[in-house]
Amino acid sequence: MTKVLFVVSELAPLIKTGGLADVAGALPTALAEYGDEVRTLLPGYRAVMGKLGKTKVIEKYDDLFGGPAKLLACKMAGLDLLIIDAPHLYDRDGGIYLDTTGTDWADNPQRFAALSYVGAMIAETGAGGWTPDVVHGHDWQAGLTPEYLRARAVQVPFVFTIHNIAFHGNTDAGKLVALKLDGDRFTRDHFEFWGQISALKAGLMGATKITTVSRTYAEELLTPEFGIGMDGVLRDRQSDLVGIVNGIDEDIWNPATDPYITPYTTPAKKAANKKALREIFGLGPSDGPLCVLVSRLTEQKGIDLLLAALPELLSRGGQLALLGSGDPKLEVALLAAAAEHENVSVKIGYDEALSHQMMAGGDVILVPSRFEPCGLTQLYGLRYGTLPLVALTGGLADTVINASPAALASGVATGIQFFPITTQALGNAFARLADLYNDPKTWKTMQRNAMKQDVGWKASAADYHAIYTSLTETHQ
């Protein structure tokens, strides 16, 4: 058994802004099947503190980056949690990372340095008698952990997972003292990045092993196009970089037991959910496929490409039901498209129940992202027999079998991929989609293939377990 401390900034079902929370919430349970014992360190945001049941104070800090704090232990949703109760850092209106105006919290460097710092202290002295064999940090918010481990002379292995390299956690070099960092290590070989402190670079340079969330994304990160300034660092650490595709919680995302939908086990039973979804979105009958999209509305997610290619989908009888929020300009453009076209319906915001209903009722899930480290929505789509139409990038390339002539002839296709990631290519993909949808036999075969795919955590948890085991054996 390996004892693993997760250091993470969000965790489903307590607090979530994206896929990181889903991974952090599901992976510990999957690892338990291999005998690993995970405890998860999480900031005590106001929304988190309000959901906790019985807790136990196991540590007190007189001054944790500007104020007193406590470390709480509790169990919730089958997870062993360690919560940093630091009101001066986390008890506030607004979001995890952004204030009520949508701006980064000015003290984010201190807020997440505190997360990393407490993680290092737990590795050194334990938490309520429990001491980890491995510390596993997730994204830049945990990136300073190896610096604090080194400062405390703690030899525990540190695994660092990149969920999205676009966010670096950079801050002014003048905060070296405030962040309790060693100024002698403010160099290009450690955590200096173009004159700034980079939490992400600290994690990459200090990690014993680096993982990311798909094999293709691991390869993409080595290029300037996708590495976003860190490609050189990752090329230097390439021998320690491995891609492990994410999974989903197959109990939560299960069309046979989903409480939000009319349950089904075969594609033929999707019809009732499709009818219900059209009613929810105010869409009438159509001869073409009902496409759904659940996403942050950003250019990264290819929403502008979708808007430009939408006429091709609509001209072939297709429909679009969209749920999401993000860039105000894209929100306005999508609402305008919905007002103009009767076969387009848009809901701004997020609704967990509705997202399940969309997966069950849609024919196709759209993921036209310009880059996508792993992606989870295409996995939900596969699980529900809602065929993914995706850009050929990152985890989308690794998890969807394109309906190429060879794949169709072999009867193994599970969706449609398009490349290059342009409006023209997406429009061509919509044309291919219409042709496939109008071939009922082929379409049903693809749906059945999709629902048979292994989209859970078992295989990926085995890969993480192997990494932990290797690291602990090496450090004995």
Give residue 3's pLDDT: 98
- 69-76 and 79-85 strand pairing: antiparallel
Q: Based on the number of CB atoms within 10 Å of its own CB, is 356 exposed (0-12), middle (13-18) or buried (19 or more)? A: buried
Q: Structure tokens of 242?
A: 């491995």
Beta bridge partners of 384: none
CATH architecture of 3-247+458-474: 3-Layer(aba) Sandwich (3.40)
Binding positions = 16
Q: Do the domains at 3-247+458-474 and 267-452 have one common CATH topology?
A: yes
The tens-digit pLDDT sequence of the chain (476 residues) is 899 999 999 999 999 988 899 999 999 999 999 999 999 999 999 999 999 989 999 999 999 999 999 999 999 989 999 999 999 999 999 999 999 888 999 999 999 999 999 999 999 999 999 999 999 999 999 999 999 999 999 999 999 999 999 999 999 999 999 999 999 999 999 999 999 999 999 999 999 999 999 999 999 999 999 999 999 999 999 999 999 999 999 999 999 999 999 999 999 889 999 999 999 999 999 999 999 999 999 999 999 999 999 999 999 999 999 999 999 999 999 999 999 999 999 999 989 999 999 999 999 999 999 999 999 999 999 999 999 999 999 999 999 999 999 999 999 999 999 999 999 999 999 999 999 999 999 999 999 999 999 999 999 999 999 999 999 988 76
Place of tokens 């049903």: 444
Q: What's the CATH superfamily of 267-452?
A: Glycogen Phosphorylase B; (3.40.50.2000)
Q: In what order do the strands lie in the sheet with 158-162?
A: 56-61, 69-76, 79-85, 37-43, 3-7, 134-138, 158-162, 209-212, 241-243
Residue 251 to residue 255: CA distance in whole angstroms = 9
Where in the chain are the domains? 3-247+458-474, 267-452
Contacts for 69-74: CB closer than 8 Å, 24+ residues apart: 69/114, 71/118, 71/122, 71/127, 72/44, 73/127, 73/128
Query: Smallest Cα–Cα separation from 162: which of 216, 204, 191, 205?
Result: 204
Query: Smallest Cα–Cα separation from 209: which of 220, 217, 218?
Result: 218
Give residue 77's pLDDT: 86
- Rg value, the chain, Cα: 23
Give residue 476's pLDDT: 62
> Residue 86 in contact with residue 43, Cβ under 8 Å?
yes
Residue 365 to residue 370: CA distance in whole angstroms = 16
- 319-326 and 344-348 strand pairing: parallel
Residue 283 to residue 285: CA distance in whole angstroms = 7
Binding positions for ADP-alpha-D-glucose = 16
